[in-house]
Amino acid sequence: MPPNASSNILRNRLINSSDAASDEYDAATQPPLRSIKRLSGTELAIDGIIYDIADFVHPGGEVIKFFGGNDVTIQYKMIHPYHTSKHLEKMKAVGKVVDYEPEYKFDTPFEREIKAEVFKIVRRGREFGTPGYFFRAFLYIAFFFFMQYTFATSTTFFNYATWYESGVCIAVVFGVAQAFIGLNVQHDANHGAASKRPWVNDLLGFGTDLIGSNKWNWMAQHWTHHAYTNHSEKDPDSFSSEPMFAFNDYPIGHPKRKWWHKFQGVYFIFMLGFYWLSTVFNPQVMDLRQRGAQYVGIQMENDYIVKRRKYAIALRVVYMFLNIYSPFANNGLSLATFGIIMLMGISESLTLSLLFSLSHNFIHSDRDPTASYKKTGESICWFKSQVETSSTYGGAISGYLTGGLNFQVEHHLFPRMSSAWYPYIAPKVREICKKHNVKYAYYPWIWQNLFSTFSYMHRAGTGANWELKPLSGRA
């Protein structure tokens, strides 16, 4: 379970204003003060200002209504790199929130320089998918549908003439084909980075549902993860696997530590193999209340989400019919058929989750990016925190296979830029980071990142990073 965060922790612990405070404002000249918890499903808060988006026509499509009822300051700024106050003037301001104290700050010297240099490479309006990206996406989509048809219609799982007709081969290859959709198609699309046309992103984003997950639940968790990367109380990815294993490096004696975590460096890859199973049979698809995001304060009861529940359920039923019912119907209701289905799921799970686990869990990753804020109350640079909580490995070829997942630093700095551009901006990002003394983790080869991740998981599980070092006098 996630740490005992309050239900409104994401909302910067905004509290209700008193009647006396409200009376200090002239209703004719000042917008009313309100708590974030009192926002309607058609209102957003950005930098302490409440906006009504009920009739707002957003250039990026209706996705803006996905986070209705929430503070979206960080989400807004991370996907609007060209943000100015003029953009917000297009929305109707209807109020203010009280006691807004952001942990992160923007428009720092580091942010300004890295954006200025990167935008010299990727000009405004060209940050979306390139012809090469769409060519690769087409190949991955064609490969997926071919394997989907093969898996759902095959009657040769156990009675085959050639090895490639066997259930084992089909299951493994189909699992990888699904993972490629997750890495190379839906990821860019659900970030609004595949195309400048909202409907293209929306359509490709349903690739999430084609592989057993759900578009809207994925967005709720993933966008929150991006906003608060490695924040032990606000990043759903940091605690979503608890108590089975812990990505967070909790202090020794912390109640979230379990005795079995001492062995997680060995078994965590085994547990990652069950990612597919836990996703396909996740009951959260019924109500689209992603529990990780909900736990840290995201409100998911707006009309946009409620209206999409029936579609989410329908898509899941189709997936289960094709990939669970059909194999049993075609090859017999047996443990052997069940094993083939599970092999497909494990193949997809390991290809996806192992690559995802590399991104933010490695030796010397920043596991508490807001530590200085907690001590001094001074906001930290969000751009700097994104670099120091992420890692990059390999180069362009790795990017073509993983949808740019290997360029995790670049992705977290520019999440609405297509992954096709990351190989081009990575050298400049490293240069600017070095200039500003920002720690950039780069591994030339994936196995180096893997080794660092396994080492980190072992040390986090045993508490080795918290053990005293008596000879040095340092903890």
Domain ranges of the chain: 9-101, 103-475
The structure tokens 């004719």 sit at: 28
pLDDT below 70 — which residues of the chain? 1-31, 99, 468-475
- Tokens standing for 408? 């995790």
Pairing of strands 92-97, 380-381: unpaired
CATH of segment(s) 9-101:
3.10.120.10
- Looking at residue 149, its amino acid is Y
3-state secondary structure of 471: coil
Neighbour order of strands in the sheet with 49-52: 33-34, 92-97, 49-52, 43-46, 70-71
pLDDT digits 0-9 by tens, 80-106: 888 777 778 888 888 888 867 789 999
Q: Can you give the pLDDT at residue 466?
A: 86
Distance of alpha carbon 378 from alpha carbon 380, whole angstroms: 6
The full DSSP string for 307-327 is TTHHHHHHHHHHHHIIIIIHH
Q: Can you give the pLDDT at residue 308?
A: 93
Q: Can you give the pLDDT at residue 85?
A: 73
Give the up-direction half-sphere exposure of residue 456: CA atoms within 13 A in the CB hemisphere. Answer: 22
Contact at 8 Å (CB) between 226 and 416? Answer: no
Q: Can you give the pLDDT at residue 23?
A: 36
Give the ranges where 122-253 is alpha helix by DSSP (H): 131-153, 167-184, 186-190, 198-205, 207-210, 215-227, 236-239
Cα angle 96-101-105, degrees, rounded to a multiple of 5:
110
Q: Can you give the pLDDT at residue 471?
A: 52
- Tokens standing for 460? 């986090």
Distance of alpha carbon 371 from alpha carbon 132, whole angstroms: 41
Mean pLDDT across the chain: 88
Q: Can you give the pLDDT at residue 60?
A: 73
- Tokens standing for 370? 């807001």
Q: Can you give the pLDDT at residue 340?
A: 97
Q: Can you give the pLDDT at residue 468?
A: 59
